[in-house]
Amino acid sequence: MTEQTTSIQQKKYDVAEDLQPNSPAKRNIGPFSYMSMWLGDGFNIGNITLGSSIVVAGVATMNLIQTITAAAVAIMLIAVVFILNDRFGYRTGVPYVMQLRMSFGEKGAKWASLLRGIPGIVWFGFQSWTGALALGQIFRILTHGKFSNVWVCFIVFVIFQVLLALKGFKSIKIVSEIISVIVMIGFLVVLYSLLSNEWGAISQNLVHKPGSWGGTFWGFVVAFLGNYTAIILSAADYSREVKAGYSDVKRFFLYFTPIFLAYGATIVTGAMLAAVTGISSPVNAIAKLFDSNGFILAIEGFIVLGVITTNMVANIMPPAYVISSLFKVPQGISVALIGLLGILSCPWILVQDSSSAGLDMFIKAYSIFLGPVTAILIIEYYVIRKHFVDLDKLYDSKNMVPYSPNAPIALFTGAAAAFAFSNVSWLVGFFVGGLVYWLLAKYRPQGNRVQF
């Protein structure tokens, strides 16, 4: 069978409009816009918070070289797995929630999609609350202490982001192009300021520490990797929006280059901020470190912009697709529900100084399941279906089986193995889940009843 390409015929299927296959004619995201998306997503407060988790109670568990190396290893793995899983969406125009049908069946795909939807909603709430903290600092300075109500900032900020996202990836493209470069400059200014003014404390608390190249090191590699696992899993949601004509190698660098620049810089910045101040929350750390109101205003503004780009790219549209698939509601309603659920996720708990370790645990917990699902999708597309999918049958709910046994077996086997090795959960779950699914497909083909 020849490999399926993006030259698909545009048909209308019995699903929500935003779940229809995206034809090449409708794709308007080029390389600059795509890289801007990942730059904007990488320069965000959550990634800085993850970097700060290296420092526990003022003591760094890894030194600077180990931190940089762990980030580099994680980013390379992110880009490699991203390009493997994005090809399906790029060549078919089909979103992730429909891609799941190949392995899990029509109803099984809906349940499996929650493994992407729930983390996205929690991250939306987390990012929005940290953005509200930054807004609170901004209003406190501008009003000379008369107003700094974080709750008001939070609710208004959530509503603002929901309104921005109502037009889907069209608005994401515009917002990312405008904001990503501005945010990048802001975070690089913070990094430069730390290196210039606080090198003594950084050297003492982060550079000249023995750290660990063992379990702690690989645990942070997986934590850094785990921060992107939800995005990697739903790679089709993004690649289906990219203009046709880009090879796998070119798309690889569209991921690797901006993620390396943005994610690497924010992780290192977070570790340095925590090492210098002893505070895990970047918003509070910046307020303590810089006593110039003008500087604080600028940095907090960059944080707010970074939250907007991150949520627009990673935490609104993919979960909105999940909502559309579950309840067959229009995109606008799905996006509004994401805003409401983000508020109900109680993000103010995760951003407390005492909760940075909890954030790391949360990432590892959902990574237990996302690793196996990612491997299942890759095995399904490359090994079982040989790069070819009949879209008419994929979208035909009436003739598709509700559930396919092989995929859940592989998922839970991989998740159990990942749980047993929680420090490196994603890697273990990915390889075990993929291996089990491949063996089941080979020796128990009747268990995969999604035949088309």
pLDDT digits (tens, 9 = 90+) for 88-146: 999 999 999 999 999 999 889 999 999 889 889 988 998 899 889 889 989 998 998 88
Residue 273 falls within a domain, yes or no? yes
Segment 274-303 mean pLDDT = 77
| Dist. CA 410–CA 15, nearest whole Å | 28
Quote the number of domains for the chain: 1
pLDDT digits (tens, 9 = 90+) for 331-352: 889 999 999 999 998 888 766 6
Residue 18 falls within a domain, yes or no? no
| Dist. CA 292–CA 211, nearest whole Å | 34
| Dist. CA 349–CA 359, nearest whole Å | 10
| Dist. CA 306–CA 160, nearest whole Å | 14
Residue 332 falls within a domain, yes or no? yes
Please, what is the angle between helix 31-42 and helix 293-310, to 10°?
120
DSSP-assigned beta bridge partners for residue 60? 55
Residue 56 falls within a domain, yes or no? yes
Question: What domain range is 133 assigned to?
Answer: 33-447
Residue 108 falls within a domain, yes or no? yes
Residue 21 falls within a domain, yes or no? no
pLDDT digits (tens, 9 = 90+) for 177-229: 777 778 778 778 878 888 888 888 888 878 888 877 887 888 888 888 877 88
| Dist. CA 339–CA 184, nearest whole Å | 26
| Dist. CA 12–CA 20, nearest whole Å | 7
Minimum mean pLDDT range among 35-44, 152-161, 279-288: 279-288
DSSP alpha helix (H) spans, 166-228 = 169-197, 199-202, 215-226
Residue-wise DSSP of 386-436: TT---HHHHT-TTTS-S--SHHHHHHHHHHHHHHHTGGGHHHHHHHHHHHH
Residue-wise DSSP of 280-335: S-HHHHHHHH---HHHHHHHHHHHHHHHHHHIIIIIIHHHHHHHHHHH---HHHHH
Domain CATH number, residue 68:
1.10.4160.10
Minimum mean pLDDT range among 147-151, 266-270, 301-305, 447-451: 447-451
- Is residue 406 predicted with pLDDT exceeding 50? yes
* Vertex 235 angle, CA 230 and 240, to 5°: 145
Residue 5 falls within a domain, yes or no? no
- Is residue 1 predicted with pLDDT exceeding 70? no
Q: Is 59 helix (H, G, I), strand (E, B) or coil?
A: strand
Residue 306 falls within a domain, yes or no? yes
How does the average pLDDT of the chain come out, rounded? 85
Tokens of 256: 């690797």
